[in-house]
Amino acid sequence: MTIQWFPGHMHSTRKAMAERIKDIDAVVEVLDARMPGSSCNPLLAELTAGKPSLKVLNKQDTADADRTAAWLLHYNAKPDVSAIALDASMTAPARQIIDACHLLAPNRGGMAKPMRVMICGVPNVGKSTLINTLTGVKKAKTGDEAGITKMEQRIVLADDFYLWDTPGMLWPRIAVAQVGDRLAAGGAIGRNAYDEEGVALDFLNYVKGPYADLLKTRFRLDGAIDDIQQMKDEDLLEFIGRQRGALLGKGRVNLQKAAEIVIHEFRSLALGRMTLETPEEFARWQAEGDRLSDERAAKKAARKDRLRAG
C-alpha cells in the first residue's frame, strides 16, 4: 500500500498558495538532492503553472555527486525551469538563489517593481535552514521533523526582493509507491503515517544495488556476507539488527529497532552519500504509477456505470 500523509494544515496551505501565486514572479522549489524526483511536488506544479521555477537540489553534500549532476541536467532541460544544487547552510552558494530568480524574471527588480518570490517544498527538505542562511538571522524554525512550519510568512531579503515562505506541503494522493517510501525515509512524512520496517526494507532493497559497499562498510558486513545483492531484504535487515545488538529474548532480532537504525543511519549521513533514484528510474516508476491510477479510475467508473444501470 502506498504511504499517504496530507494533514489538515496542508489543505490550508494549498488554498493560501493558490491565492498567493497570482502576485508571484518566480517560484523556488526546494528539493531533497537524495530524492530529486520524489520530493518534487506535482500539486505545486499544478498550482504554479505558468510561473518560472527554480529547482534547488538541497543537501547536495549528502547526495551522490554524479546523480546530482544527472538531475540538474534533467531539470535544466525543461522550459522555464532552472536548477542549482547547494547545501542550504552555506552562505555563499545560497546567494545563488537571488541571482537565479532575477534571471528567471528579468523584468522585475528595483523599488518600482520589486521581485516577489514564493519558496516552497515538501516537509523537511531544509527550506527553513535555507531561509535562515539567506537572511543571516533565524527567521524560520528548523528541526528533523516533518511539518514544523505551519504558517506563511513574508521575508524581505533586500529592498526590492520579497520572499514568501510557505509550510511544507505534500499532495493528497501519492500514486507511486517508491515515492512514498523515499519521502518517509528522508523524513518528509509524519512518523505515524508509515511503518518503519516496510520503509527500511524498501530502502535496503534499493541501496544494496548501487551502494552495497557503503552498507558493508557501515554495518561491518565485509567477510560476513559474500554477496549482499543476492540476500533477501528481510535477511539483510535481520543481519544488521544482530550486528547492532537490536535483540529480543532468546536471540531474536528486534526488526522494528533494526529498521529505526537503518533509517537513522541514512538520514544522518552515517551511511555515506546516496541518491535513491535516477531520472530514468523515476520516469519508469511514475509511468507505472500513472498506469495503476488509470486502472483504478476505470474500475471506479465501471462500478458507477453498473450502479446506474442497476
- Cα Dmax for the chain: 74
The two counts, helices (H) then strands (E), for the chain are: 12, 6
Residues 106 and 140 in one domain: yes
Residues 22 and 108 in one domain: yes
User: What pLDDT, on the 0 to 100 scale, is given for residue 224?
Assistant: 62
Residues 187 and 59 in one domain: no
Q: What is the CATH number of the domain that holds 191?
A: 1.10.1580.10
- Return the number of other C-beta atoms located less than 10 Å from residue 181's C-beta: 26
Give just the sign of the alpha carbon dihedral 173, 282, 66, 258: positive
Residues 117 and 189 in one domain: no
Residues 112 and 90 in one domain: yes
Q: What is the CATH number of the domain that holds 17?
A: 3.40.50.300
Residues 13 and 86 in one domain: yes
Domain around 159: 8-165
Predicted structure pTM score: 0.89
For residues 168 and 218, give the distance between their C-alpha atoms in angstroms, rounded to a whole number.
32
* Chosen domain end from 229, 252, 267: 267
Residues 161 and 54 in one domain: yes
The string of DSSP letters for 278-298 reads: -HHHHHHHHHHHHHHHHHHHH
Q: In total, how many domains does the chain have?
A: 2
Does residue 276 lie in a domain region? no
Q: What is the mean pLDDT of residues 266-289?
A: 96
How far is the CA of 209 from the CAs of 25, 157, 222, in angstroms?
42, 43, 15
For residues 8 and 11, give the distance between their C-alpha atoms in angstroms, rounded to a whole number.
5
What digits encode the pLDDT tens for the residues 56-70?
999 999 999 999 999
Question: SS3 breakdown of the chain: % helix, strand, coil, rounded to 5?
Answer: 50, 15, 40
Residue given cell 504558517 in the structure block: 151
Q: Which has the minimum average pLDDT: 91-95, 236-240, 304-308?
A: 91-95
Residues 143 and 16 in one domain: yes
